[in-house]
């Protein structure tokens, strides 16, 4: 069959005019012919049917131009033809999609595919060209070319868009997964109409006083024959086919109905969080629809929170920001679910107007290295506190985890330690039985100065901090330790440039003092906590190993934030070493002259 791969020069319909490959119809006929001619080879798996495409080919056409797109297709066609030159035929199915039928051993096939992928990665456009490949290895002799192509396409769908796994084989697992997907799609509408989607509620607790502070509504699919189907199984399929928006609106309505019922029964109720899929936020008018439902049930907006997942930011921040602004206008509190799981954590915190962060303990254990995970977790908690966000930790399974969270300043937990998600009646009873309390930010900023703006390099606060005030620092005081969070340039100058900013952060600040001076310093901090006013003191310290470098600093401090276990201070310093030395000199002279 190798002779079918020649580039055509005529204008016959048997060839693709752009790439010179044989036409799709011709290709399919040839495949059927080959199969009929070598049934034993086909049964023995000697042939492979490949299907491949170019990821986001339209973007290439858009960013560059159609000629560039065409050039890429010609490049691919000619490379495929030279790699699959013997006992193979290649065609372009349509646009950027190609198919190959080849007689080959597995190793040879993968070698060819790897070479193709390598050549593509070297392609000269300043844009990463990604191609994914589905492979069907023949086994049955009764499958027409079309059925083989379908199988290669199914295998392809399992890796499409995957930058790491570029090709996949068609296997029975692939078939089952796809069949499962088809089946779920086939029965989902009926399931919604016949109320098979049921809500379970998972309460959230304050680990300090064990009061309930909120709950999350989680959907369960209770199928009359198959029993409970877990959301992990159907949510991704609904997100793919768009049905998730219907389900989320339904869940939202059921939550409203439940809250109304509690209010009518005069049961004291806590806010309920409803999940909003990343797919939902692209649905025009979703926020308005939610609001109509809420009004229909006459539910106060403060009793519902909306949970958006951090992965929604991957498709760009604009859409999610717009959605959040819109629901904020109606008065909803917005939580960021699975915070820290997507790449965008820090960025999204800065640019999205969120109210509450949810951290998943999964990211601690997934690390494999618990130590690493706890460092990440505590820095995220500290950052969230500093920005004034309440934090809810979820997936908390044991007391050690909850105690650890408390030790880093986060007291709100959701997880099996306190309760699994439970059905409505059980949840209602839990609310009746336990105390209820509102959520508070992890750190209460008590100073008028807007401390949040310190994170914004362009803010007035930062400008003042960096340029106009003298030496200034912000630090956190906790369990007798003092950790510098931020110092300005003048601070470093003031202490004689003996230490860099990064070294400041590495040290326990109090280690620069001797015992006597340290005590004096801590006494000032304690006074400032007590008085909530500015307090001052003068102390000697040394930032170097050389005893000659002792300096005297006059500090003034003021509390700017308090959490359950730490206090944040704003600190101004002045180096008074020269004055002190001069004073000492005068005193010595006086003493000597007496």
Applying CB under 6 A, the residues found at the interface with ligand C2E are 202, 218-219, 230-232, 235, 244, 248, 251, 275, 277, 337-338, 394-397, 415-416, 421
Q: Closest separation between CB of residue 527 and Ca ion, Å?
A: 43
- Give the per-residue contact string, 238-277, with Ca ion (x = CB under 5 A; - = no): -------------------------------------x--
CB neighbourhood size of 170 (10 A): 25
Contacted by 424, from Ca ion, ligand C2E, none: CB < 5 to 8 Å by type? none
Partner from Ca ion, ligand C2E, none binding residue 472, C-beta < 5-8 Å depending on class: none
d(C-alpha 87, C-alpha 38), whole Å: 12
Residue of 53, 337, 355, 555 interacting with Ca ion (CB under 5 A): 337
Indicate which of ligand C2E, Ca ion, none lies near residue 248 (CB less than 5 to 8 Å, by partner kind): ligand C2E
Strand-by-strand arrangement of the 167-169 sheet? 88-94, 97-103, 47-54, 131-137, 167-169
Cβ closer to ligand C2E: 275 or 488?
275
Sign of CA dihedral 118, 123, 125, 126: positive
Find which of Ca ion, ligand C2E, none residue 343 binds, CB within 5 to 8 Å per kind: none
Nearest distance, CB of residue 286 and ligand C2E, angstroms: 12
Piece of 113-121, 194-202, 299-307, 505-513 that binds Ca ion (CB under 5 A): 299-307
Alpha helices in 298-423 (DSSP H): 317-330, 345-351, 362-366, 370-386, 399-407
62 binds, among ligand C2E, Ca ion, none (CB under 5 to 8 A by kind): none
Instruction: Give the C-alpha separation, 268 to 300, whole Å.
Output: 13
Query: Which C-beta is closer to Ca ion: that of 291 or that of 307?
Result: 307
Residue 431 binding partner per list ligand C2E, Ca ion, none, with a CB distance cut-off of 5 to 8 Å that depends on partner kind:
none
336 or 443: CB nearest ligand C2E:
336
Which of 214, 561 has the CB closer to Ca ion? 214
307 is an interface residue for Ca ion by CB under 5 A:
yes
Which helix (H) or strand (E) segment holds residue 287: the answer is: helix 286-297
Of 201 and 543, the one with the shorter C-beta distance to ligand C2E is 201
Q: Of all residues in this chain, which one has the CB nearest to Ca ion in the complex?
A: 337
Burial class (CB in 10 A: 0-12, 13-18, 19+), 196: middle
3-class secondary-structure state, position 389: coil
Near Ca ion by CB under 5 A, which window of 307-315, 385-393, 408-416, 543-551? Answer: 307-315
Query: What is the Cα–Cα distance from 50 to 31, expressed in whole angstroms?
Result: 12
Query: Cα 399 from chain centroid?
Result: 26
As a whole number of angstroms, the distance between CA 15 and CA 21 comes to 6
Rounded to the nearest angstrom, the gap between the alpha carbon of residue 154 and the centroid of all alpha carbons in its chain is 28
Which is nearer to ligand C2E, 253 or 494 (by Cβ)? Answer: 253
Q: Using CB under 5 A, which of 338, 355, 494, 535 touches Ca ion? A: 338
Tokens 């049930």 locate to: 297
**76 binding partner (options ligand C2E, Ca ion, none; Cβ < 5 to 8 Å by kind):** none
Q: Report the alpha-carbon distance of residue 396 to residue 418 in Å, rounded.
A: 8
Nearer to ligand C2E, 233 or 588 (CB): 233
Q: Which residue lies nearer to Ca ion by CB, 206 or 275?
A: 275
Residue 225 to residues 191, 192, 196, 232, 528: CA-CA distances in angstroms?
Answer: 12, 15, 11, 19, 66
Given the DSSP bridges, would you call strands 391-394 and 356-360 parallel, antiparallel or unpaired?
A: parallel
C-beta of 188 vs 392, nearer to Ca ion: 392
Least distance (Å) between residue 409 CB and ligand C2E: 21
Read off the DSSP letter of residue 343. T
């Amino acid at each position: 069959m190798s002779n079918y791969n020649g580039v055509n020069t005529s204008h016959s319909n048997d060839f693709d005019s752009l790439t010179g490959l044989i036409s799709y119809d011709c290709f399919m006929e040839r495949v059927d012919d080959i199969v009929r001619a070598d049934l034993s080879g086909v049964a023995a798996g000697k042939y492979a049917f490949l299907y491949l495409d170019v990821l986001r080919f339209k973007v290439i056409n858009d960013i560059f131009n159609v000629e560039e797109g065409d050039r890429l297709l010609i490049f691919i066609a000619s490379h495929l033809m030279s790699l699959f030159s013997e006992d193979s035929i290649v065609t372009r199915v349509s646009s950027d999609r190609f198919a190959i039928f080849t007689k080959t051993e597995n190793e040879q096939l993968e070698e060819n595919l790897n070479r193709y992928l390598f050549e593509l990665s070297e392609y000269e456009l300043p844009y990463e060209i990604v191609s994914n490949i589905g492979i069907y290895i023949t086994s049955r002799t009764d499958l027409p070319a079309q059925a083989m192509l379908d199988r290669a396409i199914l295998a392809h769908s399992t890796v499409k868009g995957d930058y790491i796994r570029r090709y996949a084989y068609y296997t029975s697992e692939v078939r089952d997964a796809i069949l499962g997907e088809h089946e779920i799609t086939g029965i989902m509408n009926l399931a919604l109409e016949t109320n098979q989607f049921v809500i379970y509620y998972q309460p959230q607790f304050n680990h300090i006083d064990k009061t309930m502070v909120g709950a999350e509504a989680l959907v369960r699919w209770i199928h009359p024959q198959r029993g409970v189907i877990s959301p992990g199984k159907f949510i991704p399929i609904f997100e793919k086919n768009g049905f998730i928006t219907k389900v989320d609106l339904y869940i939202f309505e059921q939550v409203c109905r439940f809250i109304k019922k509690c209010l009518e029964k005069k049961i004291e109720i806590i806010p309920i969080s409803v999940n909003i899929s990343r797919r939902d936020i692209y649905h025009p008018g979703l926020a308005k629809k939610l609001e109509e439902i809420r009004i229909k049930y006459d539910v106060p907006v403060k009793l519902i929170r909306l949970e958006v997942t951090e992965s929604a930011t991957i498709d760009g921040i604009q859409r999610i920001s717009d959605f959040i602004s819109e629901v904020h206008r109606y008065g909803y509190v917005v939580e960021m679910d699975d915070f820290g799981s997507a790449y965008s954590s820090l960025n999204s915190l800065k640019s999205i107007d969120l109210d509450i962060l949810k951290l998943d303990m999964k990211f601690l254990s997934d690390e494999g290295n618990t130590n690493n995970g706890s460092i990440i977790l505590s820095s995220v908690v500290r950052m969230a506190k500093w920005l004034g966000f309440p934090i809810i930790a979820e997936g908390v399974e044991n007391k050690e985890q909850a105690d650890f969270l408390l030790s880093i300043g986060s007291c709100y937990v959701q997880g099996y330690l306190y309760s699994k998600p439970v059905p409505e009646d059980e949840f209602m009873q839990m609310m009746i039985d336990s105390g209820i309390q509102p959520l508070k930010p992890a750190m209460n900023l008590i100073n008028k100065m807007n401390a949040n703006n310190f994170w914004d390099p362009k803010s007035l606060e930062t400008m003042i901090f960096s340029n106009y005030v003298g030496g200034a620092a912000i630090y956190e005081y906790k369990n007798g330790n003092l950790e510098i969070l931020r110092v300005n340039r003048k601070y470093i100058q003031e202490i004689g440039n003996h230490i860099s900013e990064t070294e400041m952060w590495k040290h326990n600040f109090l280690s620069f003092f001797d015992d006597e001076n340290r005590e004096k310093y801590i006494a000032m901090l304690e006074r400032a906590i007590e008085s909530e006013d500015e307090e001052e003191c003068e102390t000697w310290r040394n930032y170097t190993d050389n005893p000659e470098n002792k300096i005297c600093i006059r500090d003034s401090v003021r509390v700017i934030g308090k959490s359950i276990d730490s206090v944040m201070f704003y600190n101004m310093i002045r180096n008074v070493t020269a004055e002190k030395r001069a004073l000492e000199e005068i005193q010595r002279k006086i003493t000597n002259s007496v």
